[in-house]
Structure 1
Amino acid sequence: MKKRVLGLLTVLSALMLVLAACGGGSSSDKANGSAGDGKEVSGSLTAVGSTALQPLVEAAGKQFQTENPKAQINVQGGGSGTGLTQVGQGAVEIGNSDVFAEEKDGVDASKLVDHKVAVVGMAPVTNKDVGVKDITQQQLIDIFTGKVKNWKELGGKDEKITVINRAEGSGTRATFEKWGLKGASTIKAQEQDSSGTVRKIVSETPGAISYLAFSYIDDSIMGLKVDGVEPNEDNVATNDWKIWSYEHMYTNGEPKGVTKSFLEYMTSETIQNDLVPQLGYQSIHSMKVERDSDGKLTEVK
């Protein structure tokens, strides 16, 4: 009798271990499943920062939520500096940035993990009436540092140049000053936080000039050539057009749960091959060169 009881207890113990293992795996997968692995993804995250990257993250977030109804992706702008600061403070799950965290003062880049999700070219843009389509880089510097004040000095209309700038903390501004202006700081001018607002003002202001990501350039404004080079994706891929940056999505440490799943989704074929080009960005896989935070170029093999 005692042997039979002991045998039954042994069988029951083994069965409970098996059930516990199965149940534990199922619960964990439900909470932390990755996009595309057939497991349910749930939870919410907030991504804040770059307005140049914002349209892509918003569109990808909507698609992700359609495929994962229990996930919630909140996307806000505010500029790259805001994104890097807030993710560093742990206030948000993702900080979107046009620049490397190492390039931002006051940001502890050592605790942030970089996830490159796209490449974005940026170009000087003007009101369509200025009468100039191609300028040298030195002329571009002279415009934004206030040495050239009228478009007729560059062969255009007799019209005052009105500079529209991005606000301090903007990754687009930092990229434009570093690669478009060779590190020169722009004159004091009207500043705007939003790329969309910049486009609207430039399109409605005679003589206006600013700079925007390719994804914001449409028929309402004109993108300028610089030294005869067209601002397009092929020239960005080879670095012949030098005003470009990676689009970064930073996390404070390695991502987990829905954040990890969404970042994997951002680099998936669904996003990189379809949504990225549709919205005017470049896939990270299209580049012929890589550039680090110091500007050093290496060939992509």
Structure 2
Amino acid sequence: MSSKQLKEIFTGKITNWKEVGGKDEKIVLVNRAQGSGTRFTFGQNVLDGKSAKTSQEQDDNGAVQKIVGQTPGAISYLAFSYTQGNAASKIKTISVDKVKPTDKNVADNKWKIWAYEHMYTTKNPSKDTKKYIDFVKSDDMKKTTKKLGYIPMSDMKVQKDDQNKVTKLDK
């Protein structure tokens, strides 16, 4: 599927899977709720400021995963962690512009639909806060991060700023 087709599906211009080479079946949109970080990321990276077509909205990725897995013709977007493991066995990920949604493709920005999880602290964090940050950046936590279906920051080859501009990291 092309990024243009994906955008046209979520803005309501394409409404049947046969329009994108699939079977003659109505497309059922499932959006994340307004205010969701997942929805914001999808809108910023796919919809280019256009509004998603009104559809059912779900408050969490787990509900979206379940509904898409049980509903013929359904399509949505999820955090990577919900596209892996046993619970994801009833859903299928799709390539966009011939790029598969993999950790490697996110890390080098071949897969364009991604965002960071964030942690914030004061300008001068306490000793305990610094210890916690060191723990989060540790090799043990890197392994845990991967087990949870996320990509450790140390694996990223690019970075995104708050304007969604991507630049290569010097490593």
* TM-score under structure 2 length normalisation: 0.90
Deviation at 1:182, TM superposition (A): 2.4
More strand by share: 1
Partner of 1:287: 156
In 2, the alpha carbon distance for the partners of 1:254 and 1:167 equals 35
User: In the comparison of the two structures, how many residue pairs are matched?
Assistant: 166
In 2, the alpha carbon distance for the partners of 1:255 and 1:159 equals 55
- 1:192 matches 2:61: no
Deviation at 1:221, TM superposition (A): 0.2
Q: Residue 255 and residue 170 in structure 1: after superposition, are their counterparts in 2 closer, same or farther (change >3 A)?
A: farther
| Residue number among 257, 260, 265 corresponding to 2:135 in the alignment | 265
What amino acid does structure 2 have at the position aligned with 1:152? K
In 2, the alpha carbon distance for the partners of 1:291 and 1:205 equals 34
Partner of 1:203: 69
Structure 1 contact 137–181 (Cα < 8 Å) conserved? no
What amino acid does structure 1 have at the position aligned with 2:61? S
Deviation at 1:258, TM superposition (A): 5.0
Deviation at 1:252, TM superposition (A): 5.7
Q: Residue 202 and residue 269 in structure 1: after superposition, are their counterparts in 2 closer, same or farther (change >3 A)?
A: same
Partner of 1:35: none
Look up the SS of the partner of 2:135 in the other structure: helix
In 1, the alpha carbon distance for the partners of 2:153 and 2:105 equals 14
* TM-score under structure 1 length normalisation: 0.52
Structure 1 contact 192–198 (Cα < 8 Å) conserved? yes
Look up the SS of the partner of 1:191 in the other structure: strand
| Residue number among 163, 166, 171 corresponding to 2:32 in the alignment | 166
Percent of aligned pairs with the same residue? 51
Bigger Rg over Cα: 1
Look up the SS of the partner of 1:265 in the other structure: helix
| Residue number among 198, 214, 234 corresponding to 2:80 in the alignment | 214
Q: Residue 157 and residue 267 in structure 1: after superposition, are their counterparts in 2 closer, same or farther (change >3 A)?
A: same
Partner of 1:276: 145
Query: Highest relative contact order (Cα 8 Å, sep 6+), 1 or 2?
Result: 1
What amino acid does structure 2 have at the position aligned with 1:205? T
